[in-house]
Structure 1
Amino acid sequence: MNLIVWVVLGLLAGAIAKAIYPGYQGGGILSTMILGIVGAFLGGSLFTLLRTGTLQLTAAGAGLSIPGLFVAVIGAIIAIYLWGLLSRRSNA
């Protein structure tokens, strides 16, 4: 059941982040899910760092919730930005 929640959270967060972030990102539904799941971990870890002062690999929330989705979208936007930097550097 947990895997289904992660797939749904990843799909939602990735799709919202791609809609918010300017420009064309490309990729299909699988890349959107992976981007959202990476964003959930990135956002959750940054949120934990800001809240407690310790860096831990945590997810944005245990289940589907509005705050967890918000943190996952912020993390996915950061992941889109970082992926753009990496792919631009390798193409140049």
Structure 2
Amino acid sequence: MIGLIISLIVVGLIAGALARLLVPGRQDISIAMTILLGIIGSFVGGFLGYLIFHQDSSGGFFQPAGIIGSVIGAVIVLLIWTRTGARRGARV
């Protein structure tokens, strides 16, 4: 159980950091929010992968396709976050 939590944090950090590098602009979020972004992106990427390919993660937790899906999901979540945050910050 502890190994799963640690691996979620590590994959979340990697996916979140790569998403922040890929999305242009400045994101004012902390390292903890980057990890959370990556974890949420992993779930979004896994869900989208299941919808498109009708496959689950029965082959194991660490797969290149899973990491790529996590990064794609994190980019989607970050784009949504920056777009809704930009609107919220513009209203004063």
Q: TM-score range by the shorter chain?
A: 0.7 to 0.9
Q: CA deviation at 1:50?
A: 1.1
Q: Which residue of 1 aligns with 2:88?
A: 90
- Structure 2, gaps ≥5 residues long: none
1:26 is aligned to 2:24: no
Structure 1 pair 62/83, CA: closer, same or farther in 2 (3 Å)? farther
The CA RMSD over aligned residues, in Å, is 1.8
Q: Which residue of 2 aligns with 1:68?
A: 66
- The sequence identity of aligned pairs, in percent, is 36
Q: Which residue of 1 aligns with 2:77?
A: 79
Taking the aligned partners of 1:13 and 1:27, their CA distance within structure 2 comes to: 14
Q: CA deviation at 1:64?
A: 2.5
TM-score (norm 2): 0.84
Once structures 1 and 2 are overlaid, which stretch shifts more, 61-70 or 35-44?
61-70
1:49 aligns with one of 48, 51, 63: 51
Amino acid paired to 1:90: R
Residue correspondences, number:
86
Q: CA deviation at 1:62?
A: 4.8
Larger Rg belongs to:
2
Taking the aligned partners of 2:29 and 2:64, their CA distance within structure 1 comes to: 25
Amino acid paired to 1:35: L
